[in-house]
Amino acid sequence: MLRHDILNLLTERPSENVSGEKISQQLNVTRAAIWKQIKILKEEGFDIEAQPKNGYRLIKSPLSLNEWVLGQVLNTQSLGRVIELNEDLPSTNERAKELARQGTVHGQIVLAKKQSLGKGRLQRQWESPEGGLWMSIVLRPNLSLADATKITLAASVAVVDALKELVNLPVGIKWPNDIVFNGQKIAGILGEVVGEWNVVQTLILGIGVNVNFPRQRLGDSFSAVTLYELLGYELDLNILAAEILKYLEGELISLEHKEFQELRQKWSERAIGLGEEVRILRGDQVLEGIFKGISIDGSLLLETVDGEKSFSAGEVRLRSKQGVYF
Ligand code: BTN
């Protein structure tokens, strides 16, 4: 794409101006064509200095999602090597499923600047205004179905580690895979299997992070918060996506090497409420006990007066002893 070629030229020597003439010669296009692309880049949020005498200089890239910027910061072998970025989608998970059925490669990601019908776990809706990171990854891992369910645990570890590295925010995992700060949800993960698992072996991993927007955009959900609200500044969504993908790729490789104990250990070190008295909600039913940890497949282990019980993520919700989200 011409726009991307221009950006590549401008970043070859970041502190220097590049003349329109040089760009025009190197890319074999007219100066008017370059100017048109520069205008589009500015609309996309690139800060480009344009001086008639000195030429062009890239001052700043946008913090919003951008295919070129993401390509620059991505540091992975397979995840995110094919990118589809949309302005607006009902749900990136649904779009990723469609692409998976059409046979797309392992690691393709689908991003949307906003979603109109974002999907949450347990058939809930996921508010997805502009400024968030709404991303789905098509995975065709070398894992059995039983082992593939652990990918959502791996994803929650990856999101925690990415946030720790980027903003040093001590976030935790609320079972099974909510990312939480001080009892308020920052990110969620939704794993979905495409078609018959045994036939296609494809999983869609949806990751939603509340990043650059005020909390009010989430409606009156008092148990959710955004990174902007917590940090007071906006984050580069491209860097955040790249960091999450980097950690996720590492976790996937360990899973394929059957390093489950390591994953369980990592998950437990980041978990909230371990060893505490908790409530489990199954429909109208409430059970109390001590949260002992997770089994190797990610089920929650609860020590109750009647002995140890295990619960899978699809059937119950976890609350603190006071009955609140934590
Ligand atoms: C949850 O309920 O905690 C899971 C939320 C998952 C939201 C993400 S946003 C990107 C992807 N597309 C969707 O429709 N949902 C997931």
In the reported structure, the alpha carbon of residue 91 is separated from the centroid of ligand 1 by a whole-number distance in angstroms of 8
The closest residue, in CA terms, to atom 15 on ligand 1 is 119
In the reported structure, the alpha carbon of residue 133 is separated from the centroid of ligand 1 by a whole-number distance in angstroms of 10
CA pair distance 202, 138, nearest whole angstrom: 7
Q: Which atom of ligand 1 is nearest to the CA of 178?
A: 3
Q: CATH number of the domain at 277-320, please?
A: 2.30.30.100
pTM of the predicted model as reported, rounded to 2 decimal places: 0.95
Residues whose CB falls within 8 Å of the CB of residue 184, separated by 6 or more in sequence, listed in order:
223, 224, 225
Task: Walk along the chain (326 residues) and give the pLDDT tens digit of each residue.
Answer: 999 999 999 999 888 899 999 999 999 999 999 999 999 999 999 999 998 888 999 999 999 999 999 999 999 999 999 999 999 999 999 999 999 999 999 999 999 999 999 999 988 999 999 999 999 999 999 888 888 889 999 999 999 999 999 999 989 999 999 999 999 999 999 999 987 656 558 999 999 999 999 999 998 766 899 999 999 999 999 999 999 999 999 999 999 999 999 999 999 999 999 999 999 999 899 999 999 999 988 899 999 999 999 999 888 889 998 888 77
**Domain residue spans of the chain:** 2-60, 67-270, 277-320
Q: What share of the chain is helix, strand, coil (3-state, %, to 5)?
A: 35, 30, 35
Q: Is 92 in the pocket of ligand 1 (CB under 6 A)?
A: yes
Q: Which fold has domain 67-270?
A: BirA Bifunctional Protein; domain 2 (3.30.930)
Q: Which fold has domain 2-60?
A: Arc Repressor Mutant, subunit A (1.10.10)
In the reported structure, the alpha carbon of residue 128 is separated from the centroid of ligand 1 by a whole-number distance in angstroms of 9
One DSSP character per residue, 8-42 reads HHHHHSTTS-B-HHHHHHHHT--HHHHHHHHHHHH
Determine if residue 319 is left, alpha or beta; phi over 0 gives left, psi from -120 to 50 gives alpha, anything else beta.
beta
Task: State the binding site for biotin.
Answer: 91-93, 115, 185
CA pair distance 155, 153, nearest whole angstrom: 5
